[in-house]
Amino acid sequence: MNSPLIQAEHLVKIYAEGSRELRILDSIDLAVGHGEFTAIMGPSGSGKSTLLHILGCMDRPNAGRYLFAGLDLTKARENHLARLRSCRIGFVFQSFNLIHNLNVLENVELPFLYAPRGKRKSRRNAEMAIDLVGLSHRMLHRPAQLSGGELQRAAIARALAVDPELILADEPTGNLDAKTGRDILELLAGMQSAGKTIIMVTHDPKVAGYAKKVMTLENGRLF
C-alpha cells in the first residue's frame, strides 16, 4: 500500500436513542493510500455515511484517532477542519446538494467562498472542472433544467473544482438509472487514474466493483 493519506484508528461513534446508546461504529481501523479507490459496502443503516462524515471532517468520533496526511485531527479546532474540508476534500452526495436558484457554474464556484483564490482563478478552475465532467454545454443551466446524470456530473465538478486530494462519494449512483450510473462510475474511476484518492460508500456490489479495494461495514465493524 502507498503511504496512507488517511488513517483511522479504533474509531467509535455512539448515538443516544432515548435511554439507549447505539454504537454505530465500533473500533474502526482504516488506512487508505494516496491515489487509491476504496469502496465501503454495507446495508442501509450500517453506519457507512457516518464513517464518511467523520473521514470528511463533518463529524467527530466519540473515541479513537483520525489522521489526514499525517496530521492528527482528533482534537483539531473547527476552523482548521473547515479549511481542510474546503481545500483538500471534495464531497459527492447521492442527493446532489446543488443550490436550485444558481446555475451549474455558480454551484461549482461555491467551494471558493471558503477557499478564496481570486475571482478570475476561481472562475477558471470551475470552468475547467465542468469541462472535465463533460458539462460545458449546460454551464449556465439551473438544476431544474438538468437530468439526474447531469446533476451528478455538476456535483462531481463542484467536488473537483478546488483540486482536492480526497474525494468522498456517498451512494453516488443511488438516484440514477443503470446506464447513467455506469457513466458516473467510469468518471470516478478516471479521476482515480489521474491520481485522486476516492472513498465511496454503497450497498450495491456492482457499484463497489469499480473500486480497487472493497471493505464491508456491518454491526459497527469494518472487514
Long-range contacts of residues 128-136, Cβ cutoff 8 Å, at least 24 apart: 129/157, 129/158, 129/160, 129/161, 130/104, 130/105, 130/154, 130/157, 132/157, 132/160, 133/157, 133/160, 133/187, 135/104
68-110 pLDDT tens trace: 999 999 889 999 999 899 899 999 998 999 999 999 999 999 9
Q: How is residue 121 annotated by DSSP?
A: H
Cα–Cα dist 223/220, whole Å? 10
- As given in the structure block, the three cell numbers for residue 67 are 489522521
Mean pLDDT in residue range 187-215: 96
24: amino acid identity, one letter? I
- Name the pTM for this structure: 0.93
Strands (E), 98-196: 166-170
- For residue 114, is pLDDT > 90? no
CB 158 within 8 A of CB 40: no
Model pLDDT, residue 96: 92
- What pLDDT, on the 0 to 100 scale, is given for residue 117? 72
